[in-house]
Every structure is written in C-alpha cells, then in structure tokens.
C-alpha cells in the first residue's frame, strides 16, 4: 500500500474523531465554545484578507500567517482549559 494511501486513510478516520473529541471536551462550557467559534471566524477573516490583498501586499509581510498560527495556538489553549476544568470538577 502506498504511503499516500495510508496517509489519506488515516486522515479520513482521524479527522472526524478529532472533531468529535473537541466537541466532547468543550461540551458544557458555553463560553469556551463561543470563544472557539469566534477564533474560527477570525481565522476565516484573516484568510479572506490574505486572499483579497494577495495582489497588493502578497503575504501581508507574514503577519497574516503569524496571526493564523496564534489563532490555532489559542484554540489549543481553549481545549486545554476545558480539559483542565473537566478533570477538576467540583465535588
């Protein structure tokens, strides 16, 4: 089996599981869910800005890409916050 086929099968299986796991982690934390949603919107707006300004500014001086990296990092931190809360529930 080719490496590409193995990678594609892994992505097809793992991606939906990852989305499900994130939803489970953030479940019951409406403020974190809203923050996550807002970060997704911000990422989309940065993408749109990069596309719109591609001819004029090229890559926006790498700032657009860096902003997207920080957004992804913030999303990971939200997941970690929810995991911490879930593991330290009040009794």
Question: Residue 4 CB: number of other CB atoms within 10 A?
Answer: 8
Q: Where are the domains of the chain?
A: 3-87
pLDDT tens column, 13-51? 665 645 544 566 788 889 999 999 999 999 999 988 888
pLDDT digit string (tens) for 59-87? Answer: 667 888 899 999 999 999 999 999 999 88
pLDDT of residue 11: 61
Cα(63)–Cα(40) distance, rounded to whole angstroms?
17
pLDDT at residue 16, rounded to an integer: 60
**Which residues are within 8 A (CB) of 40 and not within 5 positions of it... i.e. 6 or more apart?**
75
Mean of pLDDT over the chain: 80
């Amino acid at each position: 089996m080719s490496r590409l086929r193995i990678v594609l099968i892994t992505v097809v299986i793992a991606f939906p599981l990852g989305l499900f796991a994130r939803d489970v982690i953030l479940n019951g934390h409406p403020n974190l869910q809203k923050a996550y949603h807002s970060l997704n919107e911000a990422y989309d707006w940065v993408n749109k800005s990069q596309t719109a300004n591609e001819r004029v500014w090229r890559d926006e001086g790498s700032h657009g890409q860096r902003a997207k990296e920080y957004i992804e990092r913030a999303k990971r931190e939200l997941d970690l916050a929810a995991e911490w809360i879930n593991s330290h529930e009040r009794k």
